[in-house]
Amino acid sequence: MQVTGRNEKDSSYYDSIYEGGYDASHYEPVYRHILSIIDRVESPRVLEIGCGIGALAEMIAATGTPYRGFDFSETAVRRCRQRLPHVEFSVGDAYEQVSFRPVDYNVVVATEVLEHVDDHRVIGNIPVGALLIATVPDFDDDSHLRLYRDVRVDIVERFALLLKVHQVGSFTSNSLTTGAPQTYHVFYGTRVAAE
């Protein structure tokens, strides 16, 4: 795993990104894959950590799957509520247990979140038995604290005390800013009790 040595960005950093017309359309193939995983869960109920502008939320809500999401960017949550006024969104902090309550879900989604935060601490807030579906990048960005380059070491082994990882897949798309190829690893696993 490559650690960048950067500090976490605060919510104002993400507010400015979301105020600037952020577009999540390049994630659509990844989102479709996430939907196919959710579809395999019996009676799924989803909590999304870092819901951003609500692009994935819109796709999940369209299936009729119960959903709620939170983000620590007030701008993101405002855009979500404008986009999907019938869906529950809140401002929340992934480090705070209260953001994960009530536990009325069995699936947790975190797309492009874990590389920005203390990933173990956030996963530790997910209830034991819930399925986590997450994406992490193997490329650098100003806000990334770490890069997940080796699937076995950086995902399966790194999270072994918290997750029983069931599957990892990868998607490559071109950067919206540079055009260079970027790889996203999509994995899912069941939250287990730490030994």
Which one-letter DSSP state was computed for residue 149? -
CA contacts within 13 A on the Cβ side of 6: 16
Q: What is the mean pLDDT of residues 30-35?
A: 95
* Residue among 53, 49, 47, 48 at smallest CA distance from 14: 53
> In terms of DSSP H, where are the helices of the chain?
11-19, 28-38, 55-62, 74-83, 119-124
Most confident of 12-21, 97-106, 133-142: 97-106
- Closest residue by Cα to residue 79 from 157, 20, 11, 8: 20
- Residue 27: pLDDT over 70: yes
Q: Give the pLDDT band of residue 186 (cuts 50, 70, 90).
A: very high
pLDDT of residue 137: 92
Q: What is the pLDDT of residues 144-167, one digit of tens each?
A: 999 999 999 999 999 999 999 999
Instruction: Extract the tokens encoding 28.
Output: 């659509």
pTM: 0.95
Geometric angle at alpha carbon 153, from 149 and 159, rounded to 5°: 110
* Residues 39, 46: Cα–Cα separation, whole Å: 11
- Angle, nearest 10°, between helix axes 11-19 and 74-83? 40
Structural domains of the chain, with CATH: 10-191 (3.40.50.150)
Q: Is pLDDT above 70 for 92? A: yes
Mean pLDDT of the chain: 94
Structure tokens at 74: 């007030």
The predicted pLDDT at position 194 comes to 75
Span 41-54, pLDDT tens digits: 999 999 999 999 99
Would you state the structure tokens that stand for residue 148, as one six-digit string?
A: 């997940």
* pLDDT computed for residue 195 by the predictor: 66
Which of 101, 97, 110 minimizes the C-alpha distance to 27? 110
SS3 assignment, position 73: coil
